[in-house]
Structure 1
Amino acid sequence: MKSTVSYLKNHFLIAMPHMADPNFARTLIYLVEHNEQGAMGLVVNRPGELTLADVIEQLRPTTPCIDSRGDLQIFTGGPVQTDRGFVLHPAGQPFQATLQLGALALTTSQDVLFAIADGQGPDAYFVCLGYAGWEAGQLEAELAANAWLSSPSEQRILFDTPPEQRLDSAAALLGVDLNLLTSQAGHA
């Protein structure tokens, strides 16, 4: 009998309390892609050192960032390609390199950053450097080992919830309080 795999694109991955990998301990990940070849996601609750204004100044030193959210922190999206930027935003506005994800879109071209800096970008956005990646079957094995919980994603958590509350807010979607779970892994 052939088994059916359920893919989790556009879902959250919620790190279980016993997650030991420092790249992923206490993280919330938005899964951009998940299929038979593997998975790609963005850590959405780890603010980095840079701000949007810092990045705009590096990319376009003669024109400052006028967006009122210029002090927005750029997040650490994961340990892979940490020099590559990603902007997650509601779908609708076309940019040079945008992947449509249903209600959301992921843009990797600089034009989205310039539009944001000029006050003409998407109404909501999440900017990060780097991503998290899994080879074929790797995420499924981690899920089977109880390293992650998964839940459908919600834009309000991505764009309206403070970063330090996103992990617990996503767990609450499942009725789970992570503070009540043990940090010890095990199987019955």
Structure 2
Amino acid sequence: MNDLRPGMLLVATPALLDPNFARTVVLLLDADEQGALGVVLNRPSPILVADVLGDWVEVVAEPEVLFRGGPVGADGALAVGSLRDPDDAPVGFRAVFDRIGMLDLDTPVALVEGTLDALRVFAGYAGWGAGQLESEIEEGSWYVVPAEPGDLGREDLTDLWRDVLRRQPGELAWVSTRPVDPEQN
């Protein structure tokens, strides 16, 4: 499946050895003929949101840390959240797909409280120029699969890569059992 659009997940194949993306799950937030943008969901950092963005700790999902969203723009922050009620989006929220959207971190926290099921703050993002992601998919670096509502705010991210693959139909589910080092099989 190579349906590149917001709401799809890029799951690193075992062939993808780049340390920025090995065994990652990337949530696509934008994809068109100009390129694609997403955030790595399963790379929490040791940096607490409270240490960097103070009041935002009140609304972020556990674990309350910054996530390494990707190697591009790592000195900036990007917030992605899931609305509780699609008819009650806070000021500064831009819908991307379904109930998921990006939130402007300049928005006062008081205007956001109670409106989101999950919020993550990402340092950096993953970005691809025109045709670059399609080429990486063709060479076997990524599986493209649909996201599920709980993927963004999941508290335990240890097995996200494996669990996303396991829920796929057919032979793709078998990849979830592959060890990091096939020599240990």
TM bucket normalised to smaller: 0.7 to 0.9
Q: SS at the partner of 1:53?
A: helix
**158-167 or 72-81, which moves further after superposition?**
158-167
Equivalent residue for 1:145?
139
Provide closer, same or farther for how the CA distance between residues 86 and 149 of structure 1 changes in structure 2, counting only shifts above 3 A.
Answer: same
Residue 137 of structure 1 aligns with an amino acid whose one-letter code is G
Equivalent residue for 1:178?
176
The percentage of counterpart residues that share the same residue type is: 28
Larger proportion of strand: 2
Residue pairs, 1:39-188, within 5 angstroms:
39-57=36-54, 66=58, 72-91=64-83, 92=86, 93-96=89-92, 98-103=93-98, 104-111=100-107, 114-115=109-110, 119-120=113-114, 122-175=116-169, 176=173, 177-180=175-178
Aligned length: 172
Task: Please report how far the alpha carbon of residue 115 of structure 1 lies from its aligned counterpart in structure 2 after TM superposition.
Answer: 3.8
State TM-score, norm by structure 1.
0.78
State TM-score, norm by structure 2.
0.80
Cα RMSD after superposing both structures: 2.8
Identify unmatched segments of 5+ residues in structure 2: none
| Contact 1:85-1:130 at 8 Å conserved across structures | yes
Provide closer, same or farther for how the CA distance between residues 24 and 94 of structure 1 changes in structure 2, counting only shifts above 3 A.
Answer: same
The superposition leaves residues 114-139 of structure 1 with CA deviations (integer Å, 9 ceiling, x where unpaired) of 249x8545221122111000000000
Identify unmatched segments of 5+ residues in structure 1: none
Provide closer, same or farther for how the CA distance between residues 130 and 122 of structure 1 changes in structure 2, counting only shifts above 3 A.
Answer: same
Alignment pair present for 1:30 and 2:27: yes
Task: Please report how far the alpha carbon of residue 22 of structure 1 lies from its aligned counterpart in structure 2 after TM superposition.
Answer: 1.0
Instruction: Indicate the structure (1 or 2) with the bigger Cα radius of gyration.
Output: 1
Provide closer, same or farther for how the CA distance between residues 45 and 115 of structure 1 changes in structure 2, counting only shifts above 3 A.
Answer: farther
The superposition leaves residues 84-135 of structure 1 with CA deviations (integer Å, 9 ceiling, x where unpaired) of 2112112442233x331122111133326x249x854522112211100000
